[in-house]
Chain A
Amino acid sequence: MAKLPPYTSTGEYIWHYVYRSICGLIFLFLIMPIIVVLPLSFNVEPYFSFTKGMLNFDPAAYSLRWYEDILRNGMKAPDAPFDWAWLADTWNNGQWIRAIRNSFFIGICATLLSTALGTLAAIGLSRSEMPYRRLVMSILISPMIVPLIITAAGMFYFYSQVHLSQTYLGVIMAHAVLGTPFVIITVTATLVGFDKSLVRASQSLGAGAVTTFRKVQMPLIIPGVISGGLFAFITSFDEVVAVLFLASPEQRTIPRQMWSGIREQISPTILAVATLLVVLSIILLTVLELLRRRSERLRGITSS
Chain B
Amino acid sequence: MANSQTAPLEPITAADGTPLKKKLAQALFRSRVRAVSLVVPLFAFVMASFVIPIFALMWQGVYNDRFSSHMPNLTEQLTVWDGLTEPDEIMYEALVADLTTARADRTIGRVATRVNQEYPGTRSLFTSTARKAKKLKPPFKESVIKANKKWDNIKVWQAMKITSQDLTPGFYATALDGRYTVDQGFVRQDENRQIYVKLFWRTMLISATVMGLCLLLGYPVAYLLATLPLRTSNLLMIMVLLPFWTSLLVRTTAWIAILQSQGVINDLMVFLGITADDARFSLIYNMTGTIIAMTHILLPFMILPLYSVMKTIPPSYMRAARSLGATPTMAFIKVYMPQTIPGIGAGGLLVFILAIGYYITPALVGGQDGQLISNMIAYHMQKSLNWSLAAALGGILLAGVLVLYWAYDKVIGIDNMKLG
Contacts and interface: CB of A to CB of B under 8 A. Distances in A.
Touch A–B, Cβ below 8 Å: yes
Interface string B280-292: 0000000000000
A167 interface: no
Given A149-B394, A234-B245, A241-B359, A129 B253 contact: no
Closest 8 CB pairs of A and B: A147-B357, A124-B38, A158-B53, A33-B254, A121-B42, A154-B54, A154-B57, A124-B39
Contact of A262 (B240, B253, B377, B387): B253
Interface of B: 28, 31-32, 34-39, 41-43, 45-46, 49-58, 60, 217, 220-221, 224, 228-232, 234, 236, 238-243, 245-258, 260, 262-264, 267, 296, 299-300, 328, 353, 356-360, 364, 374, 377-378, 381-382, 387, 390-391, 394, 397-398, 401, 405, 409, 414-415, 417-419
15 contacts: A31-B239, A34-B243, A47-B262, A118-B42, A120-B39, A147-B397, A153-B381, A158-B57, A180-B42, A180-B45, A185-B419, A240-B248, A270-B253, A284-B245, A303-B234
A34 B242 contact: yes
A88 interface: no
A33 B294 CA distance: 13
B interface, by DSSP: helix, strand, loop or mixed? helix
A281 interface: yes
Contacts of A61: none
Given A124-B35, A245-B381, A274-B254, A143 B221 contact: no
Given A150-B377, A153-B390, A241-B359, A36 B42 contact: no
Nearest to A153: B381
B28 A255 contact: no
Contact of B253 (A145, A274, A282): A274
A49 B264 contact: yes
Contacts of A131: 32, 36
A205 interface: no
Contacts of B46: 139-140, 143, 177, 180
A143 B50 CA distance: 8
B302 to A, nearest CB: 11
A37 B257 CA distance: 8
Given A37-B254, A140-B42, A149 B35 contact: no
A80 B279 CA distance: 47
A147 B243 contact: no
B250 A274 contact: yes
A277 B247 contact: yes
Contact of B249 (A137, A231, A240, A245): A240
A141 interface: yes
Contacts of A32: 258
Given A36-B254, A49-B267, A241-B359, A129 B49 contact: no
Contacts of B51: 139
Given A130-B32, A154-B56, A185-B417, A149 B248 contact: no
A274 B253 CA distance: 8
Contacts of B258: 32-33, 36
Interface stretch (A22-30, A71-79, A94-102): A22-30
B387 A157 contact: yes
A293 B236 CA distance: 16
B35 A129 contact: yes
A234 to B, nearest CB: 6
Contact of A117 (B45, B232, B256, B357): B45
A277 B246 contact: yes
B49 A240 contact: no
Interface string A229-267: 001001001101100010000000011001100110000
A60 interface: no
A107 to B, nearest CB: 12
Contact of B231 (A153, A231, A240, A303): A303
Interface string A1-18: 110000000001000000
The interface centre, meaning the residue of A22, A26, A36, A37 with most chain B CB atoms within 10 A of its CB, is: A26
Given A29-B217, A154-B56, A258-B249, A36 B264 contact: yes
B267 to A, nearest CB: 7
B239 to A, nearest CB: 5
